[in-house]
Amino acid sequence: MRTRTAVVYEHNKPVIVDDLELDEPKANEVLIRMAATGVCHSDLSIVNGTIYYDPPIAIGHEGAGVIEQVGEGVSYVNPGDNVVLSFVTFCGNCRMCQNNLVRLCEGFRAPRAHLLDGTCRLHNKSGQPILQMARIATMSEYTVVPEQSLVKIDAHYPLEKAVLVGCGVTTGVGAVLNTAKVEAGSSVAVIGTGGVGLNVIQGAVLASAERIIAIDLIENKLDFAKSFGATDLVNASTCDPVEAVLELTDGKYVDYAFEVIGYPKTIEQAYAMIRPGGTAVVIGACNQDVHISIPAQSIVMKEKRLIGSFYGSSSPRAAMPKLLKLYENGKLKLDELITQTYRLEQINDAFADMESGKNARGVILYDN
């Protein structure tokens, strides 16, 4: 069948919305009619090569849709089911999956961005195979994905809202509740208040943190941070954020700092602004060649901890329905995250808006 799909053909060039050929789902795969896809910085990281793939690659990793067709042997879903896609594929059997580390599944040998049999379902007019970001490629009217990338959700959740648990919400809220396990009354700093950072703030509110210091360079994003529950705002374009945190905490620094950008400088700042015994959590994905520099003695003498958080240390099939329940019960903001919707053809505008800090989250809606 034909599908319109956002494809990176060349790094640092506009993304092309191409007419592609999509093969039928093979065994243990499903065809999905996408309803919505969120626009995340990690998509842009594929465009600029920070997360490196040899093009062409179809992007998008925060998506929700409806099962259109199932391949042989699929048992988890039926046509008509609503799903959110997971950007990790999980086997359920490997030592990671069996030890509640599903997001670090190592059960599949297929190369990244390929289906699990090592081939591609998307091809362009010249017959060239197109990779699929995270094996899902949600910026596409239709996509074929492994059954092991699916999270079934209740039909009453609007897909254009539920889509946000595919990446931003699960990553941000999970980093606070699962990775750091922030205690009530804690002080928290968040460096980078984009779509994921705002969800770190939501997570800190859910954890009953007392102080939530939001740090960014863009005033508009700090306004969003305030509306999501930040107690203090720091514009790092006019001050040193470590000094600012020191001042705001009366010389004490914070219990937890979350880095949601993926720059060495901001990771080092996150580490610098935590108290002895405190924890800095890195969520932002750096280029794989980037190294950081931290004062090593403080790891011992001050028991400072620097840890990573991937997918909010969540198991997608357990975490996403719970987050949607919190939304339903008014405890989690999803509607407010979506500040602009786009058509797929507007993907490059959506990226520009994200970079300028215009949006909390931009979401592409499909009207097929």
Q: Which residues bind ligand CXF (CB under 6 A)?
A: 40, 42, 51, 61, 87, 134, 167, 171, 285
Count of residues in contact with Zn ion, rule CB under 5 A: 3
Q: Name the nearest CA neighbour of 366 among 3, 15, 1.
A: 3
Residue type, 82: N
The nearest distance, CB 60 to ligand CXF, in angstroms, is: 10
Given ligand CXF, Zn ion, none, residue 124, with its beta carbon under 5 to 8 Å by kind, binds: none
- β-pairing, 232-235 with 211-216? parallel
Q: 38 or 278, CB closer to Zn ion?
A: 38
| 335-354: burial string, b at 16+ Cβ within 10 Å, e else | eebbebebebebbbebbebb
Q: Please, which residues have CB within 8 angstroms of residue 239's CB and are 6 or more apart in sequence?
A: none
- Return the residues of window 33-72 that contact Zn ion according to CB under 5 A: 40, 42
DSSP 8-state assignment for residue 159: H
- Return the residues of window 279-338 that contact Zn ion according to CB under 5 A: none
Beta bridge partners of 30: 70, 145
Q: 207 or 286, CB closer to ligand CXF?
A: 286
Q: 74 or 162, CB closer to Zn ion?
A: 162
Given ligand CXF, Zn ion, none, residue 142, with its beta carbon under 5 to 8 Å by kind, binds: none
Q: Looking at beta carbons, which residue is closest to Zn ion?
A: 40
Q: How far apart are CA 284 and CA 309, in angstroms?
A: 9
* Secondary structure E strands in 101-237: 122-123, 129-132, 142-146, 150-153, 187-191, 211-216, 232-235
Distances (CA, A) of 3 to 31, 121, 138, 218, 320: 11, 11, 12, 37, 27
Q: 61 or 304, CB closer to ligand CXF?
A: 61
The nearest distance, CB 89 to ligand CXF, in angstroms, is: 11
Given Zn ion, ligand CXF, none, residue 110, with its beta carbon under 5 to 8 Å by kind, binds: none
Q: Name the nearest CA neighbour of 269 among 285, 293, 248, 301.
A: 293
Q: Name the nearest CA neighbour of 348 among 34, 49, 59, 137.
A: 59
Q: Contact letters (x/-) for Zn ion, 122-161, by CB under 5 A? A: ----------------------------------------
The nearest distance, CB 287 to ligand CXF, in angstroms, is: 12
234 touches 241 (CB < 8 A):
yes
Given ligand CXF, Zn ion, none, residue 285, with its beta carbon under 5 to 8 Å by kind, binds: ligand CXF
Q: Looking at beta carbons, which residue is closest to ligand CXF?
A: 42
- β-pairing, 16-22 with 29-39? unpaired
The nearest distance, CB 93 to ligand CXF, in angstroms, is: 22
The nearest distance, CB 305 to Zn ion, in angstroms, is: 24
Residue type, 220: N
Per CB under 5 A, does 167 bind Zn ion? yes
- Of the candidate spans 129-137, 164-172, 258-266, 270-278, the one that interacts with Zn ion by CB under 5 A turns out to be 164-172
- Say whether 318 sits in a helix, a strand or coil: helix
Q: How far apart are CA 39 and CA 102, in angstroms?
A: 24
Q: 311 or 327, CB closer to ligand CXF?
A: 311
Q: 171 or 179, CB closer to ligand CXF?
A: 171
Query: Which residue do the tokens 């074929």 mark?
Result: 144
SS3 of 211-240: EEEEEECCHHHHHHHHHCCCCEEEECCCCC
The nearest distance, CB 41 to ligand CXF, in angstroms, is: 7
Given ligand CXF, Zn ion, none, residue 249, with its beta carbon under 5 to 8 Å by kind, binds: none
N residues, the chain:
368
Q: 42 or 269, CB closer to ligand CXF?
A: 42
The nearest distance, CB 243 to ligand CXF, in angstroms, is: 30
Q: How far apart are CA 185 and CA 133, in angstroms?
A: 39
The nearest distance, CB 238 to ligand CXF, in angstroms, is: 28
Residue type, 245: V
The nearest distance, CB 342 to ligand CXF, in angstroms, is: 18
Residues at the site binding Zn ion, with contacts judged by CB under 5 A: 40, 42, 167
